[in-house]
Structure 1
Amino acid sequence: MRAMVIHHHLGDSGGFISDEFRRKGAEVTSHLFPHDGPLPSPQDADHVIILGAAASVNDEGPARIWIEQEQEWLRTADRMGVPILGICFGAQMLCAALGGEIVTAPRRELGWTMVEPVDSAVIPPGPWMQLHSDGCLPPPGARILARNDMGVQAFSLGPHLAVQFHPEFDKAHLHRWMEGGVREVFLREGQDPDALLSQTIAEEPEARARAGVLVATALAQARRSVIR
């Protein structure tokens, strides 16, 4: 199995999600878009993982060009039947590319957060790391798998799985986020970054296990789509 991780910032990685794909025998590659140039052919992957970004899917500034390029690439992957796991911004990109809508969330969602799954064996209730201010109105035909008071937190469509939260997240991610300016965001929102780091360290073992469940769900979703 070949798993391709698409990330948008130098400090980001597939974290626990990449680890779990490797544990299941996958060869994991990554592509920093748009920094590394055009996206590889979706045919180069058996599963695609799209990570988060500071941009909004609805941005109309300079990012608009690469956002539209990536959305068209996702539509191509969908037509080819390549399963996609979208994470946070990646979930929103998948949602918009396949006919859904991205809306401003009621408030910025930050920190370790619980969700309300339809089936906790498919999407564990968490807590999951969150950092976003947009949300998904999923495409027609999507199955809602989890939500909370902020809106949809996970959905599936065909072979694809989209989650609004960050299952890849560990303490190294938080350090990189803080160095990139997120510390100020947490402070403005009334959260203590140091307390958040302590909680992140405490959550790591269970967060890794929850990521394993999520990868199993993504792979099962892809298999069900092929069987149908």
Structure 2
Amino acid sequence: MRALCVLHDALSETGLIGAALRDQGWHVDELVVVPADRHASPDVEASFPDSSAYDLLVPMGAPWSAGLDDGRIGRWLAPELEWLADAVAAGGAVFGICFGAQALARALGGSVGRAAHPEIGWVRIDSVVPELIEAGPWFQWHFDRFTLPPGAVELARNSVAVQAYQVGRSLGVQFHPEVTAAGIARWVDNGGAEQARALGIDPVDVLAEADLQAEAAQRRAAALVGAYLAKVFPG
């Protein structure tokens, strides 16, 4: 089985989700959309491979908005939305994470806009199906929220946003099950510290909690992937 993880920027990682898929015997490819030298000017040309070459597409997070940054990233965002929509229409499976979940929702007819309150840090959620989506805590770093596309089933939420949904064989999660302590440190070191402080959050506390959560986060990510592959992916 083959999965393609779409890393929208060079700071992203397949992390715990990539590791969990590999542990399940999957071959995991990675596609970086915006290279490191274009981070400040991310409107690059990008091509996406034939989705039928993969059993699972995993569009991951990004520092941009899947609904409000069309002018900055439109040259690859619009093609990605079409690519995701076509994959789902053809019976393919998508596991969208944060930006990827928002992009999938938009591709299938939902919308993306600013959340009333950003979320940065470790957050517990209310799950309708705890055997698939645990309550967490899950790591969050987002400023936007999405509306469910037609036909989607809400699986989890909190007071800020829908946190998980299912459309056919596809799953979208607003949180970051993939992220490691090292990945969080990269985000903090590359503009995240300023974002956190602007919200009254001490980035030192975020990093300390990442270390404390590391072992449990790995377990939760593995359980999420295992449950998704067993309960949703087969269709």
Shorter-chain TM range is over 0.9
Indicate the percent of aligned positions where both proteins have the same amino acid: 36
Q: How does 1:17-32 map to 2 (within 5 A)?
A: 17-32=17-32
Give the counterpart letter for 1:170 in structure 2: T
* TM-score in terms of structure 2 length: 0.92
SS at match of 2:133: coil
Q: How does 1:148-167 map to 2 (within 5 A)?
A: 148-167=158-177
TM superposition shift of 1:217: 2.9
1:186 matched to which residue of 2? Answer: 196
Whether the 8 Å contact between 1:34 and 1:66 is mirrored in structure 2 is: no
Where does structure 1 lack aligned partners over 5 or more consecutive residues?
none
Give the counterpart letter for 1:123 in structure 2: I
Whether the 8 Å contact between 2:12 and 2:62 is mirrored in structure 1 is: no
2:117 matched to which residue of 1? Answer: 107
TM superposition shift of 1:222: 1.5
* TM-score in terms of structure 1 length: 0.95
| Alignment match of 2:89 (pick from 51, 54, 79) | 79
1:5 matched to which residue of 2? Answer: 5
Matched residues, number: 224
Whether the 8 Å contact between 1:160 and 1:218 is mirrored in structure 2 is: no
TM superposition shift of 1:34: 4.6
TM superposition shift of 1:60: 3.2
Whether the 8 Å contact between 2:6 and 2:32 is mirrored in structure 1 is: yes
Where does structure 2 lack aligned partners over 5 or more consecutive residues?
36-44
Whether the 8 Å contact between 2:10 and 2:34 is mirrored in structure 1 is: no
TM superposition shift of 1:80: 2.3
| Alignment match of 1:40 (pick from 49, 55, 66) | 49
1:147 matched to which residue of 2? Answer: 157
Whether the 8 Å contact between 1:33 and 1:39 is mirrored in structure 2 is: no
How far apart in 2 are the matches of 1:13 and 1:206?
Answer: 18
TM superposition shift of 1:3: 1.0
SS at match of 2:233: helix
How far apart in 2 are the matches of 1:26 and 1:92?
Answer: 25
TM superposition shift of 1:179: 1.9
Does the alignment pair 1:197 with 2:207?
yes
How far apart in 1 are the matches of 2:167 and 2:141?
Answer: 23
2:39 matched to which residue of 1? Answer: none
Does the alignment pair 1:176 with 2:198?
no
How far apart in 1 are the matches of 2:12 and 2:48?
Answer: 17
How far apart in 1 are the matches of 2:83 and 2:33?
Answer: 12
Question: What is the alpha-carbon root mean square deviation over aligned residues?
Answer: 1.3
How far apart in 1 are the matches of 2:80 and 2:46?
Answer: 12
Whether the 8 Å contact between 1:95 and 1:138 is mirrored in structure 2 is: yes
1:26-64 Cα deviation digits (max 9, x unpaired) = 011100115484111112211111101111112232312
SS at match of 1:153: strand
Does the alignment pair 1:222 with 2:226?
no
Worse-matched range after superposition: 88-97 or 131-140: 131-140
Moved over 2 A (4+): 34-37
How far apart in 1 are the matches of 2:183 and 2:160?
Answer: 23
